[in-house]
Amino acid sequence: MNYYTMNLALNAIAKSESKDLSKLCNAIAGIWENATDINWVGVYILDEQNDVLYVGPFQGKIACANIKMNDGVCGKSVYEDRVIRVQDVHEFEGHIACDSASESEIVIPLKKDGKLWGVLDIDSPKKGRFTQEDEDELVKIAKVLEKCLI
């Protein structure tokens, strides 16, 4: 992935005069446009009252609409409030397969005003796609993305 270009694009979007929803949609499109070997990128938004994540802006195939807290990689990431990088989704207990082509996944918690807001979810059709370097860079990207949250 071209993290330098991605970071520049997302910072420009975050500083734009657009409404927050437009910023968030464009930020996800910016990640999609600058990423390699991914088949889905988007956010899931936390609904604390119902202990569920619901799909927000994304790029890729039709997504799972709702994910229960602690279910799948996204739900577990929110429940544990930590980044989860999965090299082989078929080995992740409870993985939710929204796209059968996905082989690896990384999920990064997003916060707004210091409070858990949801997650950035990125899937790849390649096993082992996400490295520690990817994780480190995507955590930085997530910090920029947090400036665009609705």
Q: How confident is the model at residue 17 (pLDDT cuts 50, 70, 90)?
A: confident
- Two tokens, residue 111: 């916060």
- In this structure, whether the domain defined by 3-148 belongs to CATH 3.40.640.10 is answered with no
Question: For residue range 43-79, what is the model confidence (pLDDT) as tens digits?
Answer: 999 999 999 999 999 999 999 999 999 999 999 999 9
Per the CB < 8 A criterion, the answer to whether 127 and 104 are in contact is: yes
Q: Domain ranges in the chain?
A: 3-148
CA-to-CA distance for 77 and 23, rounded, in angstroms? 24
- Two tokens, residue 77: 């990431």
Helix or strand holding residue 52 (H, E): strand 52-60
Question: For residue range 20-47, what is the model confidence (pLDDT) as tens digits?
Answer: 899 999 999 999 999 999 999 999 999 9
CA-to-CA distance for 13 and 18, rounded, in angstroms? 8
Maximum separation of any 2 CA atoms in the chain, in Å? 43
Task: Between 79 and 16, name the one with better pLDDT.
Answer: 79
Per the CB < 8 A criterion, the answer to whether 130 and 142 are in contact is: no
